[in-house]
């Protein structure tokens, strides 16, 4: 059930993150639709009815098709010809329409009847009188056009037959031909005297009421639904093109459990040369990571030497190292931080330490570790917590010589200290080297880690990003375990997959999990990350 709930939260997370965009899209579309239909002017519809004669031998229409031969086709063609630009120009001139012919055509609808020889002309306008004038204008112009074209057609046919009859001699052999021509001439004369083929049977009158208008509220509701659909499509497209990792998919992309979540904060407590006063959320995240490493790691015991790395630069691995170091120091541990990023060192800035002597100097010369480490005194009142296992009486001297059981045995005290109490010390990167990879992969570095593991409870190693250079690979093989830092909305999916593949190719490397850094969630969500990783 917990897994199902987490899956639901992951699916809903993009919409939660873009809720402002969803609200904006829905609000704009809904408000725009409501305002449009609210201020829409009423429209009036007036209709005129035209009769197209379909009977009578030799009768024709404007389309030139004999309605007696194909009445349905003739009626449809008449309706189409009624909406031509020529008819519209005639109507525009007759009724003094202010717009152009195309706009005038857009106001009418011509519907031929399916069961009779009538055509209905419906005109819409914001004024009832205008609607009636437009409908009657099209009906009148169409009848006039029909009469004109019919008259021209009959006159041309009559002239042709008359000329043929005049050219035919009055002989006995031509009597039959002359009789046929005279019959055609009489038929044409009868057609000219017959009623017109197209007649207005019902003129349009000005309507007294406007047509039914759409409900602004109902249309706005439909628009809101459409806005939700558009917002969903937009967010899906944005998520598809956005390759950055989001908080819920870190575990899936890396194929590793999320050990803890470090929330995003606007405070610059982790900035260079800052003291130990961390924001509450950051400190709780560091404590959660410390607990996960102590009790939820895949190793039998808590790792003594821990490499903290990331896929890309800028994901906050150095600040995570500092937070975790303070968390370990708070629990009365002896902590050493080693800056193994010899190309772009950051630890000396985070802890207000000098860059040299440091790691490179220890590995290249005879400088002992105890002379290269630097003490760090956390500010902000941070003190090691009292551990009842150290001294049940609660005496403050209990911190001077804590027992070493379960913490790696007894080693030579670092930095020449004569006590074994809790401390936080830093080994900076040093004066630099031309070949950091070879230096970090040397036996001297392995011996240095072994020495540090004997002298300290926890050794935290800050390394370069996995995908930037290959320096972190030999360090990962020598360390007890590796933790990967992934910054929310910064690390890309491609980088996460390549980082995972790079670590999988290295033999004998134990990767414990991922630290989700810069999470835009509250402290409770951070706890859910921790619980899901350790349950």
Residue 147 token pair: 């009469």
Question: From CA 127, how far away is CA 124, in angstroms rounded?
Answer: 8
In this structure, the strands spanning 458-462 and 305-310 are parallel
CB 167 within 8 A of CB 4: no
What is the reported pLDDT for 278?
63
Residue 66 token pair: 């004999």
Element (H, E) at 493: helix 493-504
What is the reported pLDDT for 397?
28
Pick the range with the lowest mean pLDDT from 53-62, 92-101, 218-227, 452-461: 53-62
Query: Of 181-190, 269-278, 406-415, 442-451, which one has max mean pLDDT?
Result: 442-451
What is the number of alpha carbons within 13 Å of residue 329 lying toward its C-beta?
Answer: 24
Question: From CA 472, how far away is CA 488, in angstroms rounded?
Answer: 22
What is the reported pLDDT for 305?
92
What is the number of alpha carbons within 13 Å of residue 154 lying toward its C-beta?
Answer: 23
Structural domains in the chain? 7-40+214-241 (no CATH), 44-202 (3.30.70.1130), 247-267+274-385+419-534 (3.40.50.300)
Is the pLDDT confidence value at 463 over 60? yes
CB 481 within 8 A of CB 297: yes
Q: Check residue 213 and report its DSSP letter.
A: P
CB 429 within 8 A of CB 347: yes
Residue pointed to by tokens 């102590």: 294
Q: How confident is the model at residue 1 (pLDDT cuts 50, 70, 90)?
A: low
Residue 261 token pair: 């979540």
Element (H, E) at 321: helix 317-330
Q: By three-state DSSP, how is residue 55 classified?
A: coil
What is the reported pLDDT for 249?
54
What is the reported pLDDT for 459?
95
Q: How confident is the model at residue 296 (pLDDT cuts 50, 70, 90)?
A: low
Question: From CA 334, how far away is CA 299, in angstroms rounded?
Answer: 20
What percentage of the chain has pLDDT greater than the value 70? 75
How far CA 103 is from CA of 83, 93, 106, 130, 431, in Å, comes to 12, 14, 5, 14, 82
Sign of the C-alpha dihedral, residues 51, 54, 58, 61?
Answer: positive
Average pLDDT of the residues of the chain: 76
Question: From CA 198, how far away is CA 143, in angstroms rounded?
Answer: 5
Q: What is the pLDDT of residues 140-195, one digit of tens each?
A: 888 887 777 777 777 788 888 888 878 888 887 778 888 888 888 788 777 766 66
Question: From CA 329, how far away is CA 336, in angstroms rounded?
Answer: 10
- Select the more confidently predicted residue: 60 or 183: 183
Give me the DSSP letters along 374-418: EE----TT--PPP-TTT-TT--GGGGTS---TTTT---PPGGG-S
Is the pLDDT confidence value at 226 over 80? yes
Q: What is the pTM of this model?
A: 0.52
Is the pLDDT confidence value at 212 over 60? yes
CB 441 within 8 A of CB 435: no
What is the rounded end-to-end Cα distance, in angstroms, of the chain? 13
Tell me the backbone φ, ψ of residue 142, rounded to 5 degrees. Answer: -70, -40
What is the reported pLDDT for 390?
32
- Select the more confidently predicted residue: 490 or 285: 285
What is the reported pLDDT for 419?
54
What percentage of the chain has pLDDT greater than the value 90? 12
Question: From CA 54, how far away is CA 113, in angstroms rounded?
Answer: 13
CB 516 within 8 A of CB 250: yes
**Is the N-terminal amide bond of 357 cis, ω within 30° of 0?**
yes
What is the number of alpha carbons within 13 Å of residue 527 lying toward its C-beta?
Answer: 5
Residue 527 token pair: 């706890």
CB 462 within 8 A of CB 321: yes
Q: Check residue 215 and report its DSSP letter.
A: P
Is the pLDDT confidence value at 461 over 90? yes
Q: What is the pLDDT of residues 299-327, one digit of tens each?
A: 556 788 999 988 878 888 888 899 899 98
Residue 485 token pair: 């830092």
Bridge partners, 519 (sequence order)? 263
Tell me the backbone φ, ψ of residue 17, rounded to 5 degrees. Answer: -70, -35
Kindly state the average pLDDT of the residues 103-109. 88
How far CA 134 is from CA of 46, 93, 128, in Å, comes to 8, 11, 10
Query: Of 52-56, 196-200, 243-247, 436-440, which one has max mean pLDDT?
Result: 436-440
Residue 459 token pair: 């050794």
CB 477 within 8 A of CB 348: no
Bridge partners, 511 (sequence order)? 482
């Amino acid at each position: 059930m917990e897994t199902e709930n987490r899956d639901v939260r992951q699916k809903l997370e993009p919409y939660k993150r873009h809720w402002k965009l969803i609200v904006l899209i829905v609000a704009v579309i809904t408000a725009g639709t409501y305002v449009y239909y609210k201020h829409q002017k009423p429209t009036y519809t007036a209709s005129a009815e035209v009769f197209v004669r379909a009977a009578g031998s030799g009768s024709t229409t404007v389309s030139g098709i004999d309605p007696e031969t194909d009445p349905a086709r003739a009626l449809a063609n008449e309706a189409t010809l009624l909406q031509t630009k020529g008819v519209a120009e005639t109507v525009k001139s007759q009724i003094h329409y202010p717009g152009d012919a195309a706009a005038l055509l857009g106001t009418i609808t011509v519907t031929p009847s399916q069961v009779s020889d009538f055509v209905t002309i419906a005109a819409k306008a914001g004024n009832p009188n205008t609607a009636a004038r437009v409908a009657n204008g099209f009906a009148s112009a169409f009848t006039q056009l029909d009469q004109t074209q019919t008259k021209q057609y009959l006159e041309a046919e009559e002239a042709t037959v008359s000329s043929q009859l005049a050219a035919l001699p009055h002989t006995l052999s031509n009597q039959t031909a002359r009789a046929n021509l005279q019959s055609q001439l009489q038929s044409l004369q009868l057609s000219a005297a017959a009623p017109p083929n197209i007649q207005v049977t019902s003129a349009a009158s000005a309507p007294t009421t406007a047509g039914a208008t759409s409900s602004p509220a109902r249309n706005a509701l439909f628009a809101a639904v459409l806005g939700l659909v558009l917002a969903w499509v937009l967010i899906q497209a944005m998520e598809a093109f956005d390759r950055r990792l989001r908080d819920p998919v870190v575990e899936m992309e890396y194929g590793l459990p999320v050990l803890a979540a470090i929330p995003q904060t606007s405070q610059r407590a982790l900035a260079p040369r800052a003291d130990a006063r961390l924001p509450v959320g950051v400190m709780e995240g560091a404590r959660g990571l410390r607990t996960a490493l102590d009790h939820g790691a895949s190793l039998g015991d808590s790792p003594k030497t821990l490499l903290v790395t990331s896929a890309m630069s800028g994901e906050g691995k150095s600040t995570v190292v500092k937070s975790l170091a303070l968390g370990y120091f708070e629990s009365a541990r002896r902590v050493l931080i080693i800056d193994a990023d010899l190309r772009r060192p950051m630890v000396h800035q985070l802890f207000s330490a000098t860059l040299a002597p440091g790691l490179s100097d220890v590995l290249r010369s005879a400088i002992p570790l105890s002379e290269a480490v630097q003490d760090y005194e956390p500010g902000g009142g941070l003190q090691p917590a009292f551990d009842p296992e150290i001294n049940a009486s609660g005496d403050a001297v209990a911190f001077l010589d804590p027992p070493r059981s379960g913490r790696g045995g007894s080693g030579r005290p670092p930095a020449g200290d004569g006590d074994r109490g809790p401390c936080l010390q830093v080994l900076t990167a040093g004066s630099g080297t031309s070949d950091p990879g070879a230096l970090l992969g040397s036996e001297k570095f392995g011996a240095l880690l072994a020495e540090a593991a004997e002298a300290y409870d926890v050794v935290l190693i800050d390394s370069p990003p996995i995908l930037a250079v290959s320096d972190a690979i030999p360090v990962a093989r020598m360390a007890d375990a590796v933790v990967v830092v992934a910054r929310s909305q910064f690390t890309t999916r491609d980088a996460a997959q390549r980082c995972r593949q790079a670590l999988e190719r290295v033999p004998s490397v134990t990767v414990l999990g991922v630290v989700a850094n810069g999470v835009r969630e509250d402290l409770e969500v951070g706890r859910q990350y921790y619980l899901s990783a350790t349950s």
